[in-house]
Amino acid sequence: MGNIDLDPAFIQSTEHRPVPKVVEVSEIPVIDLSGIRDESLIISEIGKACEEWGFFQIVNHGVRTELYKEVEIEAKKFFGLESEEKRKVKRDEVNAMGYHDGEHTKNVRDWKEVFDYLVEDNAQVPSSYEPDDKDLRTLTNQWPQHSPQFRKTMEEYAREVEKLSYKLLGWILSSLGLVADKFHGCFKKQLSMVRLNYYPPCPFPDLALGVGHHKDSSALTVLAQDEVGGLQVKRKSDGEWIPVRPCPNAYIINVGDIVQVWSNDRYESVEHRVVVNTTRERFSVPFFFFPAHHVNVSPAEELVSEENPAKFKEYNYGKFFANRNRSDFKKRDVENIQIQHFRIMN
């Protein structure tokens, strides 16, 4: 990670920046998905967590602990390779899948390395975010050759978490009074992806973040984090940063922008960030549940009425994805697109 440096001008600009208050007691709900529990109770707990927090943890979720351990082992092997070897599968503006070391990151506070791969290889996305551009390009997984087990393990893991995501989405929709599989068809030819995150120890914890504050553009995100922790959630009630303490064999689930729009603002996609550690490296593995490029996202018609009009205009997810992806590689003169740009001011 020697190639990730903090710019002196950035250090100077942040020396007198006020440090945000962090509450030391975690209140993020932990929900038991055991088959012996009544499903209606699980749905009720999920709905309450989505409405109050936008985040919750789940245990007894059905994904084998041994499989995640295999993912962690393979990830550590990969990130331990020489930089030259990792860059053989480096992502770029044309193909956003593969390795990224942060050297072109505009936000120098992001202190990490990543490896991204698709659940469905050869996924298509719009070639640009221009409204009248109908051309498509193909995203292709780039697999490193250092380990014969790497690809097999990652593909198996993606499919297992994908199945969990469909189940969770169904429960979330049920908690809104919608049919559980209402939007399942949106994920045929999906853009869903897994990201391997490696956060090395950082000597400047007050001047850097593993990931700056942001919201996820997914329908939902399923995150595994190791025992080091570092994820913080911005509490909706007062804006305080709440640490999500690692819970053994748990997944952290958060509502993404798409569910916020589908729910017509009832469930909010909440800001979160990752803080760095001065002495310990950290690994995490988020699964981003993205629909296909052709899907248009808008509030569910069942949740729109004269008394509760639509809060968002319809938008095309492929164009949204292309816009966000473009901003990862080129500095732009406009703000990165957010769902707030589609909000209807009633």
Q: 27 or 308, which is more confident?
A: 308
Over 70: is that where the pLDDT of 134 sits?
Answer: yes
For a pLDDT cut of 90, what percent of the chain falls above it? Answer: 67
- The answer to whether residue 14 is domain-embedded is no
Is the pLDDT at 18 greater than 90? The verdict is no
Domain tally for the chain? Answer: 1
Domain annotation covers residue 6? no
User: Tens of pLDDT along 326-344?
Assistant: 655 444 444 567 888 999 9
pLDDT class for 346, splitting at 50, 70, 90? low
Q: Tokens 């599968």 label which residue? A: 89
**pLDDT for the residue 335:** 53
Q: Would 145 be classed as within a structural domain?
A: yes
- pLDDT tens by residue, 280-314: 899 999 999 999 999 999 999 999 999 999 999 99
Residue 201 lies in a domain: yes
Residue 149 has pLDDT above 90, yes or no: yes
- 28-to-50, 234, 266 alpha-carbon distances in Å: 11, 11, 18
**What is the rounded distance in angstroms from the CA atom of residue 241 to the CA atom of residue 235?**
6
Residue 193 has pLDDT above 90, yes or no: yes
Q: What is the mean pLDDT of residues 56-77?
A: 96
Query: What is the structure's pLDDT at 336?
Result: 67
Domain membership of residue 220 (yes or no) is yes
Q: Which pLDDT does position 132 carry in this prediction?
A: 77
In a domain, 9, yes or no: no
3-state secondary structure the chain: CCCCCCCHHHHHHHCCCCCCCECCCCCCCEEECCCCCCHHHHHHHHHHHHHHCCEEEEECCCCCHHHHHHHHHHHHHHHCCCHHHHHHHECCCCCCCEEECCCCCCCCCECCEEEEEECCCCEEEECCCCCCCCCEEEECCCCCCCCCCHHHHHHHHHHHHHHHHHHHHHHHHHHCCCCCCCCHHHHCCCCCEEEEEEECCCCCCCCCECEEEECCCCCEEEEEECCCCCEEEECCCCCCEEECCCCCCCEEEEECHHHHHHCCCCCCCCCEEECCCCCCCEEEEEEEECCCCCCEECCCHHHCCCCCCCCECCEEHHHHHHHHHHHCCCCCCCCCCCHHHHECCC
The pLDDT tens digits of the residues spanning 197-245 come to 999 888 776 666 667 788 999 999 999 999 988 899 999 989 999 999 9
Range of the structural domain that residue 230 is part of: 23-342
- Where is pLDDT greater, at 46 or 35? 46
* CATH number of 200's domain: 2.60.120.330
Residue 166 scores a pLDDT above 80: yes
- Kindly write down the DSSP assignment for every residue of 163-194, as one continuous string: HHHHHHHHHHHHHTTS-TTTTGGGGTT---EE
In the prediction, which pLDDT does 23 show?
44
- To the nearest whole number, what is the mean pLDDT of the chain? 87
Q: pLDDT category, 275, cuts 50, 70, 90?
A: confident
Per-residue pLDDT of 76-121, as tens digits, reads 999 999 999 999 999 988 888 999 986 444 444 568 899 999 999 9
Q: pLDDT at residue 3 above 70?
A: no
Separation CA 2–CA 290 (nearest Å): 33
Q: Is residue 3, in this structure, part of any structural domain at all?
A: no
Position 322: which residue type?
A: A
User: Is residue 241 a part of any domain in this protein?
Assistant: yes
Q: How high is the pLDDT of residue 85?
A: 96
Q: Can you tell me the mean pLDDT for 37-56?
A: 97
Of residues 159 and 276, more confidence is placed in 159
Query: Average pLDDT, stretch 246-254?
Result: 94
